[in-house]
Amino acid sequence: MESASKFVPKIRMAVIAVLPLGLDVNVEPQLSGVIPTFDITVRTAAGAQRFGGVWAGKGWPSDVRRAAALAPNADVIFAAKVSEGAQEWLAAEKLGWVDEIGNASVATPTGLVISRQATGKPSVPDAVDRWTTTMLAAAEAILNGAPPTVEAVESATSSSRGAVANALARLERRGLLRRPSHTRGPQSARQIVDVAAFVDEYAVAAAFARSKQKVLKIHCLWSDPLEEFAADIAPALNRHGVPWAVTGTAASTLLAPYLGSVTTVDLYVDKVLFAEPARLADLVGGRVVDKGHRIEVRELPTPVTAGGPLVNGVRVAVPCRVYADLMAAGGRSAEAGQHLREVIGVGPHS
């Protein structure tokens, strides 16, 4: 984790820039956490106004979502420049924000209210190029090591050449891929612009798609979820001969242990098996329930998702998908996601 202390001058100057002249601002870095957080005090004529802040990098929607998930007690999100899409999300979540170019929208629990729009050229609205399933599959293939070429991604995703070409073009329009100045030859292939930004944008898109998926809840009698999953359920799924993979906290525990225990296993299975809940429940030795479940099952979101490593007999989803699912869950799961990203990485060079 980057030290919160190095961001103190940025935070202080950003707050001063959006306040009336003469007010005293004090920023203290918090010494714990997985993301730079701060205790901020603004002294006004009415008394001291205190609130918590968190640094969210460049200020893209993925940046602010991650910051909010990792610092749930923060009242205000700080960033270099909060994008319009991020502003909309923060407004919906009733979170305040301040950026380094002089924009702010803050209403803290202590009564501090700031609303400021910096003068100058209006910012360009965020792209509205919706992520498709093929784009998500292409992103997973690339983040899992496939070169961002039509041939490589077509092979990794089993998608049609036309669909892959379109997906890569759309990722390029989003600024995630670029072509070098060379127009011909082996050096003319697309390249990732910024791996971290690619991971962040993919994670937000994957989380949105996941929120729309149908979920099956299955109850099983077991004392140790991971041990019994590896001993009984994984072999049963393998015998069935369909693609499957574990994600979420169970996957993070196998890849980069962080949380103390796993109570529910998040499982992806292929669409044919998912369409038969009774058969699926029988296969894993459980029953479909509305609550009190130990396994949460979703359809595999892309053909690439199940291509992660085999750990202790358990097939794990590709790391970028595990990371996206953990960040979508928020709270301690998001902390496990950040730990996973720092320990093993979730992209080709992250």
Collapsing DSSP states into helix, strand and coil, what is residue 119?
Answer: coil
Cα 77 from Cα 87, distance rounded (Å): 10
Instruction: Give me the residue label for tokens 């369909």.
Output: 242
- Which of 90, 116, 142 is the endpoint of a domain? 116
Choose one of 194, 209, 224: the last residue of a domain: 209
Domain assignment of residue 283, yes or no: yes
37-44 vs 24-29, strand pairing mode: antiparallel
φ, ψ of residue 26 to 5 degrees: the values are -125, 135
Q: What is the pLDDT of residues 272-330, one digit of tens each?
A: 999 999 999 999 889 999 988 889 999 999 999 999 999 999 999 999 999 999 988 87
Residues 96, 182 within the same domain: no
CA–CA distances in Å: residue 69 to residues 65, 66, 73, 107, 179: 6, 5, 9, 19, 34
DSSP calls for 19-30: S-TT-EEEEEE-
The reply to whether 230 and 189 lie within a common domain is no
Same-domain status, 189 and 265: no
At residue 300, the pLDDT reads: 97
Average pLDDT over residues 159-170: 94
The percent of residues above 70 in pLDDT, for the chain, comes to 92
pTM over 0.75: no
pLDDT at residue 153, as a whole number:
96
Nearest CA to 259 out of 269, 251, 268, 267 is that of: 251
| CA 97/CA 79 separation, integer angstroms | 8
The last residue of a domain, from among 193, 209, 225: 209
Q: Does 202 share its domain with 226? A: no
The reply to whether 183 and 228 lie within a common domain is no
Query: Could you tell me if 106 and 145 lie in one domain?
Result: no
Instruction: Find, among 188, 196, 206, the residue nearest to 147 by Cα.
Output: 188
Q: Where are the alpha helices (DSSP H) in 116-222?
A: 133-143, 150-157, 161-173, 195-211
Clarify whether residues 231 and 194 are in a common domain. no
Q: Are residues 338 and 218 in the same domain?
A: yes
Q: What is the pLDDT of residues 230-272, one digit of tens each?
A: 999 999 999 988 999 999 999 999 999 998 888 899 999 999 9
Q: Which two tokens stand for residue 240?
A: 């069935």
Number of Cβ within 10 Å of residue 273's Cβ equals 20
pLDDT at 118: 67
In sequence order, the 6+-apart residues with CB closer than 8 A to the CB of 275 are: none
Asked if residue 127 is part of any domain, the answer here is no
**pLDDT tier at 207, thresholds 50, 70, 90:** confident
The torsion angle over the Cα atoms of residues 12, 18, 19 and 23, rounded to 10 degrees, is: 20
Count: domains in the chain: 3
**128 lies in a domain?**
no
Asked whether the beta carbons of 57 and 82 are under 8 A apart, the reply is no
What pLDDT does residue 40 have?
93
User: 107: which 2 tokens?
Assistant: 């209403």
- Looking at residue 124, what is its pLDDT? 39
* Domain CATH number, residue 202: 1.10.10.10
Its domain, for residue 86, covers 4-116
